[in-house]
Structure 1
Amino acid sequence: MKVFARKGGVLGKKIKAMMVPMTQVDSINVRRECILRGLTVYLNEDPQKFIKDYRSDDQSIERDMAETVFGIYVVHPEGAEADDCTEDIGIILEGLEVLSGLPSVPFAMAMLLGLVYALNISYPPELKYTFEAVQKS
């Protein structure tokens, strides 16, 4: 958190915007999710390639999921704010929904790392630094 707070410029502003839900909700899972998203930005990678947010009324969910090679998806109820409860959290590998109904994004990240090791999958090049940082921490 101290490292994120010291970051300036455009990336610092993006990280601060991602940390807002952490100040509104007193939940360890929200805190961990914000840190995961912030880490992606801090390492200059695209957080939307890592954790994809959807609305339940979005018609393009299935098409986007089919095009996703590697990541976590979060489906929010129609009209909900980003820090409200979620409708579904899951993992996508090679365009297929591998796991769904997970309780939180940090849990999904742990499951994703387990799948990477069990299936001997390489990290995607666009998220290489994020996964290496999580692996080493």
Structure 2
Amino acid sequence: MSATFSKRRKEIIGDQPLIGDVIARWPAMFCERQVRAEFKRVVSTDLLESFLDGLDDLTPRLLEVYEAATKSAKKPALKAILDCLKKDDTNERRTAALLGLPHYLREEPSDIIRMCDAHGETLTAAMEGMQLGLLIGYEGENQDAFPREVFNEAVVVEETVVFHNFNDVPSSFAMHLGIIYCVNLEYPRAMKYSFEFLQRVVMKIKPDQASARVRGIRNKLLRYNL
């Protein structure tokens, strides 16, 4: 994969093939190890290490900012996520920070992040119309803002599962971002600021190119650190 990197990037960027054609042409790329390796070839940064370290550093301040934003009762979806977190404030703080981000940034994540009952709708139905996103499969009742019994998560591109078998939301977010880089996709319009925040602020990739909206939340987080 390293030896064919230049040829692969030329094809992907120049021809902009459909995801099915990319998978058929370069099937070895679609596993966690190779996505991480490809991301490092493109960005010279370790995908998971950079993402999770950056997220851990920002999560406490993000949750404080979210909490302050819910005081006016203008962000009910964000409040539901924080209420869910308070029921079991153990391993879900990263998840709450990630799932709350688009709501804080006034974006609509429903077409990008979907919850799927393992014993309910079929995979085809769950992915219908999904051009780029995360499918989070759960078991049991999903009465909270995010499910506790996650059994599998998948990255979906053009209604196609490109890889799966993740059972934690932060890692699947990181791999989602990795796929975007690896196959040269644009951020989904409905969550473009959320993904830009992950790129510019969490992973510190070209932070000086952040948009005004992303600079705004970054500056607010810096104030919370004082």
2:82 equivalent in structure 1: 19
**2:127 aligned with 1:65, yes or no?**
yes
Give how far 1:111 is off: 0.4
Larger radius of gyration: 2
Separation in 2, partners of 1:2, 1:122: 30
Q: TM-score, normalised by structure 1?
A: 0.87
The structure that is helix-richer by fraction is 2
Q: Is the 8 A contact 1:45 1:127 kept in 2?
A: yes
Q: Is the 8 A contact 1:25 1:83 kept in 2?
A: no
2:166 to 102, 112, 127: 102
Rate the CA distance shift 1:98–1:2 in 2: closer, same or farther, 3 A: same
Which structure 2 residue ranges, 5 or more long, are not aligned?
A: 1-62, 202-226
Number of aligned positions between the proteins: 135
Q: TM-score, normalised by structure 2?
A: 0.55
**2:197 aligned with 1:133, yes or no?**
yes
Residues 64-117 of structure 1 show CA distances to partners (whole Å, capped at 9, x for unaligned) of 314201111111114455442212111101110111111211100000111111
Q: Is the 8 A contact 2:154 2:166 kept in 1?
A: yes
1:9 equivalent in structure 2: 73
Instruction: Report the RMSD for the aligned CA atoms in angstroms.
Output: 1.8
Which structure 1 residue ranges, 5 or more long, are not aligned?
A: none
Equivalent position SS for 2:165: coil
Q: Is the 8 A contact 1:77 1:87 kept in 2?
A: yes
Query: What are the residue-to-residue correspondences of 1:68-107 with 2, within 5 Å?
Result: 68-79=130-141, 82-107=146-171
Q: Is the 8 A contact 1:66 1:96 kept in 2?
A: no
